[in-house]
A and B are shown apart, each in its own frame.
Chain A
Amino acid sequence: MEGVRILEMGQLIAIPWSIKMLADMGAQVIRLESCQRLEVYRRSTMYRDRVDGEYWNRGGLFYEHNRNKLGITLNLADENGRAVLRDLIAVSDVFAENFTPRVIKNFQLEYEDLRQIRPDIIMVSSTGYGFTGPWANFGATGPSTEGASGLAFMTGYKDGPPVQPEIPYADYTGGEITVFAIMAALMHRMRTGEGQFIDVSQAQATSSTVPEALMDYAVNGRIAPRMGNGHPSMAPHGCYPCSGADRWITIAAQDDRQWQALCRVLGKQEWLQDGRFSSMDGRLENQDELDRLIGEATKDWESHKLMHLLQAEGVAAGAVLDTKNVLFNEHLKERNFYQVVEHDPSTEMPPLPYAGQPWKFSATPAVPNKAAPTMGEHNRLILGELLCRTDDELAALEEQGIIGYAPTTPSQPPIQPPLDEQVRQGRVQRYDPDFQEQIARHFDIK
């Protein structure tokens, strides 16, 4: 994506994450921040729970969603700040934001405003429910847009209420379609010279991934019941206990051959003689009993060992990896999925691994990683070299508080309960006091 410049006024996940995916592949991204209104993710998931000093440069959620970007601070409440922004828009290919339309109107940053400055600009707005329509200005979060989309309604244990994962999931589905939308717009601009306004609704993007449920109702008037880990046409299909604390394996027997292999691996040849289980229809009909029996049979197995044995026999199976297991997973290591990123020395943070991209490109691989910017890290680079502001002008901007390097009204991150207490509450499964050594060893960090 070399040669494409993206100006990002993002917050939290939806836009920062999608623009990170483009930054990873070589787009130059300039991320705007405000010293007056500290980005919440700069004060969340603090390295070693430290809340002292320049804590705003130690927030894990910020680092996770903003690597490979340049960062500047700008006070848009001030006309001089807005003048800098206009100069940046004039030299950008894409402007991406995820504020509510109300805010964007107030800052005079609507598409028509931007076009006055840069006629072929591509503007992308990502909101919970869309930039237009009666819900345009409704506040939203990942859980609420997942709720609106129809996905959450369908998800949950059998006979239980809807359940959502513990991440703002629809931010990611919305973020992924945003990457596609920006690329389609860049292709169109390349051919025609025209820009466009892209209006992403995270709820609508997510509805587009549950078409069978929506069409089943539209066509058949039917809403399928929540089925837990079950599958409408496959049994067994579930999550079964293994040896150890909170260890599980998932198994999906896709056909009779896989079912027979499963029985053999588990040493339960007698199930092959059981007429109830001899066909997929029979297994579907008797799946509660089947799940109970399989759970009994897996509970003394080590989950990884059983997964490898089942996969060797061609049975779809996967150990449920916890957040440490996934980081240390042998397959992801072989594919170099987690990538070590160095942090600015002022942060006193060692190099750390972060999740990589969902793809590998053979000719234009992801760029060598640079950590997310510290606050205002590239003020001088962008304003000086790109916008040709003189040193005197820069000093004046600093003097006026239009650019800066720290929040103007510091608000320290909340202090987390000690890890022992979090384990007791059940929020944390366990913790490793020597995690730094373990990570350094696995990722060969000196």
Chain B
Amino acid sequence: MPEGALEGVKVLDLTHHISGPYCTKLLADFGAEVVKVERPEGDPARGMPPLIHDQPGPDNSLLFLYLNTSKLGVTLNLKSDRGREMVRELASQSDILVENFSPRVMPSLGLDYQSLKDLNPSLVQVSISNFGQTGPYRDYKATDIVEYALGGLMYIFGENKREPLIHALHQAQFRAGTNAAGGALMALYHQRRTGQGQHVDVSVQECVASGLRDAVDIYTYTGAVRHRAPEASGDMRRMRKVSDGYLLPTPSLAPNLNWPDIVEFFGAPELDDDKFNTPTARLVNTEELGQILDRVFLTKKKAEMFYAAQKKRFIFGMIQSPEEVLADEQLEARGYFVDVEHPVAGKLKYPGPPYLTSGPPWQARRPAPTLGQHDEDVLGQRLGHSGEDLARMWAEEVI
């Protein structure tokens, strides 16, 4: 197998669910050796929908299969002394340890950063948690909707007169995973130069709150509390329904556009009117303009108008469904979707490299591990425990 960019980096992965596994997936797909430790009953993400043909089974969660490519998998019961001892053995041989328990768990297992540091001073420990390792909310529970609320993104998301909204799926978790992976490598860069390890505390709330464009600056600069913007029907940048979906005529159509070009591009002579040919006029007659635009767009086809706009260097965007993303010619040309063969799940199509590089490439090095698949390779061969030892641990429900 060709080397990865992170060849030789050893990662001990104590994570579950989404944020931590996405972090270690990024490291693993770019060449780090990641040992994923699961509790004997498995990462709860093994049961997360959607499942292959809706069939339950520990290797049927599409999310789990995606999030755990390229990793070795072992099981360890961290509630047992023996299990924790094995974690310490693995940690003493690792560059990076990633965990996403709630902040009280690692210390309660005797695996607090200070003890691990005593064991391995060059260890980089990355802890991902809902609200960070300190502060009054550190034990608060959260899912994405709570993180969006307390991270400030939800208030400016959705319709003006309705309840605020969140993104579908698990965006806050994925962003935390990405940031944790970047942070892990910054700390590793320092470790490789100085030998010094450290603790990196990643807060999902702060991942959301750190990227709000100028929403908070508008308050610190002017005293205004930004609201979910009301619908301005004649706003040229507004998402519009077309005959087969939605288009985003955003945003450089406004405000300095050349109106006759637009009239021609839309093929809508009724827009060739003093009521619409200046930004001020469009603001005054926004309702009427909006009605015309709605009508005009409904006669258009999404991809046709998107390509025609790009040809004229108007920045248009398309809302693509998952079906369309899978057929997207741009992603196709970039080799985005890859087939991964899993011993139980079979061969499936996975989203591939998050970016391309001329250096050592992204690679799904192996499919997600089945539960305990590498117990013997890692605990036996690597740590030097005998087959007898492993059998005893199995009997004692350590693995």
B174: A residues at CB distance < 8 A: 173, 209
> Could you tell me the distance in whole angstroms from the C-beta of B349 to the nearest C-beta in chain A?
4
A319: B residues at CB distance < 8 A: 149-150
B83 at the interface (CB under 8 A from A): no
B8: A residues at CB distance < 8 A: 191
CB under 8 Å from chain B, chain A span 283-322:
311, 314-322
| C-alpha spacing A156/B221, complex, angstroms | 31
Cβ-defined contact, B183 with A361, below 8 A? yes
B203: A residues at CB distance < 8 A: 335, 358-359
A61 at the interface (CB under 8 A from B): yes
Among A150, A176, A213, the residue within 8 A (CB) of B178 is A176
Interface 9-residue window, one of B35-43, B84-92, B225-233, B369-377: B225-233
Given contacts A248-B164, A439-B220, is CB(A143)–CB(B134) below 8 Å? no
> Could you tell me the distance in whole angstroms from the C-beta of B8 to the nearest C-beta in chain A?
7
| C-alpha spacing A433/B222, complex, angstroms | 8
Among A179, A229, A332, the residue within 8 A (CB) of B209 is A332
Cβ-defined contact, B50 with A220, below 8 A? yes
Chain B interface, number of residues (Cβ within 8 angstroms): 151
A409 at the interface (CB under 8 A from B): no
Cβ-defined contact, A316 with B141, below 8 A? yes
Task: Specify the chain A residue showing the minimal Cβ separation from B53.
Answer: A220
A231 at the interface (CB under 8 A from B): yes
| C-alpha spacing A162/B168, complex, angstroms | 10
Cβ-defined contact, B358 with A111, below 8 A? yes
| C-alpha spacing A354/B218, complex, angstroms | 11
Given contacts A246-B227, A363-B196, is CB(A162)–CB(B146) below 8 Å? no
Cβ-defined contact, B227 with A426, below 8 A? yes
> Could you tell me the distance in whole angstroms from the C-beta of B152 to the nearest C-beta in chain A?
4
Among B146, B217, B219, B319, the residue within 8 A (CB) of A317 is B146
Top 8 A-B pairs, shortest CB-CB distance: A144-B317, A196-B359, A435-B223, A183-B185, A326-B152, A363-B198, A318-B146, A154-B168
Among A152, A248, A325, A416, the residue within 8 A (CB) of B163 is A248
- Chain B 116-152 near chain A by CB (<8 Å), digits 1 or 0: 0000000000000001111111011111011111111
> Could you tell me the distance in whole angstroms from the C-beta of B112 to the nearest C-beta in chain A?
12
Task: Specify the chain A residue showing the minimal Cβ separation from B198.
Answer: A363
B5: A residues at CB distance < 8 A: 184-185, 187-188, 196
B193: A residues at CB distance < 8 A: 3
A197 at the interface (CB under 8 A from B): yes
> Could you tell me the distance in whole angstroms from the C-beta of A285 to the nearest C-beta in chain B?
16
Chain A interface, number of residues (Cβ within 8 angstroms): 171
Given contacts A148-B318, A314-B141, is CB(A166)–CB(B228) below 8 Å? yes
> Could you tell me the distance in whole angstroms from the C-beta of A420 to the nearest C-beta in chain B?
10
Cβ-defined contact, A320 with B198, below 8 A? no
Cβ-defined contact, B250 with A141, below 8 A? yes
Residue picked from B156, B157, B180, B223, most chain A C-beta under 10 Å: B223
Cβ-defined contact, A358 with B330, below 8 A? no
| C-alpha spacing A204/B356, complex, angstroms | 10
B202 at the interface (CB under 8 A from A): yes
Cβ-defined contact, A212 with B154, below 8 A? no
Cβ-defined contact, B211 with A139, below 8 A? no
| C-alpha spacing A411/B353, complex, angstroms | 41
A320: B residues at CB distance < 8 A: 149, 154-155, 164
A446 at the interface (CB under 8 A from B): no
CB under 8 Å from chain B, chain A span 206-226:
207-220, 222-224, 226
Among B180, B189, B351, the residue within 8 A (CB) of A186 is B189
A428: B residues at CB distance < 8 A: 224-227
B145: A residues at CB distance < 8 A: 229, 231, 237-239, 250, 252, 318
Given contacts A311-B141, A429-B227, is CB(A180)–CB(B209) below 8 Å? no
Among B216, B313, B320, the residue within 8 A (CB) of A327 is B216
Task: Specify the chain A residue showing the minimal Cβ separation from B319.
Answer: A147
A432 at the interface (CB under 8 A from B): yes
A53 at the interface (CB under 8 A from B): no
Interface 9-residue window, one of A70-78, A127-135, A392-400: A127-135
Among B209, B313, B325, the residue within 8 A (CB) of A326 is B209
A107 at the interface (CB under 8 A from B): no
> Could you tell me the distance in whole angstroms from the C-beta of B89 to the nearest C-beta in chain A?
23
Interface 9-residue window, one of B258-266, B331-339, B384-392: B331-339
Cβ-defined contact, A197 with B357, below 8 A? yes
B175: A residues at CB distance < 8 A: 172-173, 176, 209, 358
| C-alpha spacing A234/B170, complex, angstroms | 13
> Could you tell me the distance in whole angstroms from the C-beta of B73 to the nearest C-beta in chain A?
19
- Chain A 100-113 near chain B by CB (<8 Å), digits 1 or 0: 00000000000100
A222: B residues at CB distance < 8 A: 50
> Could you tell me the distance in whole angstroms from the C-beta of B287 to the nearest C-beta in chain A?
14
Cβ-defined contact, A152 with B319, below 8 A? yes
B199 at the interface (CB under 8 A from A): yes
B276 at the interface (CB under 8 A from A): no
Task: Specify the chain A residue showing the minimal Cβ separation from B247.
Answer: A147
Cβ-defined contact, A151 with B151, below 8 A? no
| C-alpha spacing A404/B113, complex, angstroms | 50
Cβ-defined contact, A187 with B62, below 8 A? no
Given contacts A154-B168, A355-B212, is CB(A323)–CB(B225) below 8 Å? yes
A369 at the interface (CB under 8 A from B): no
B243 at the interface (CB under 8 A from A): no
Cβ-defined contact, B325 with A177, below 8 A? no
21 CB < 8 A contacts A-B: A45-B217, A45-B222, A145-B317, A153-B322, A156-B165, A186-B185, A188-B5, A188-B360, A198-B357, A209-B171, A219-B52, A318-B150, A323-B152, A326-B212, A332-B206, A332-B209, A334-B134, A360-B132, A361-B200, A364-B190, A364-B198
A173: B residues at CB distance < 8 A: 171, 174-175, 178
| C-alpha spacing A246/B168, complex, angstroms | 22
Cβ-defined contact, B329 with A217, below 8 A? no
| C-alpha spacing A151/B170, complex, angstroms | 10
A407: B residues at CB distance < 8 A: none
Given contacts A143-B317, A250-B154, is CB(A318)–CB(B149) below 8 Å? yes
> Could you tell me the distance in whole angstroms from the C-beta of B94 to the nearest C-beta in chain A?
15
| C-alpha spacing A335/B138, complex, angstroms | 10
| C-alpha spacing A238/B149, complex, angstroms | 11
Cβ-defined contact, B206 with A357, below 8 A? yes
| C-alpha spacing A229/B146, complex, angstroms | 11
| C-alpha spacing A144/B319, complex, angstroms | 7
B241 at the interface (CB under 8 A from A): yes
Residue picked from B189, B201, B230, B310, most chain A C-beta under 10 Å: B189
Given contacts A355-B216, A364-B198, is CB(A214)–CB(B158) below 8 Å? no
A344: B residues at CB distance < 8 A: none
CB under 8 Å from chain A, chain B span 169-200:
169-171, 174-176, 178-183, 185-190, 192-193, 196-200
A233 at the interface (CB under 8 A from B): yes
B239: A residues at CB distance < 8 A: 143, 161-162, 164
B154: A residues at CB distance < 8 A: 239, 250, 320
A381 at the interface (CB under 8 A from B): no
B333: A residues at CB distance < 8 A: 132-134
Task: Specify the chain A residue showing the minimal Cβ separation from B51.
Answer: A220
Cβ-defined contact, A139 with B252, below 8 A? yes
A91 at the interface (CB under 8 A from B): no
Cβ-defined contact, B217 with A63, below 8 A? yes
Task: Specify the chain B residue showing the minimal Cβ separation from A209.
Answer: B174
> Could you tell me the distance in whole angstroms from the C-beta of A294 to the nearest C-beta in chain B?
12
| C-alpha spacing A165/B180, complex, angstroms | 23
Among A138, A180, A426, the residue within 8 A (CB) of B160 is A426
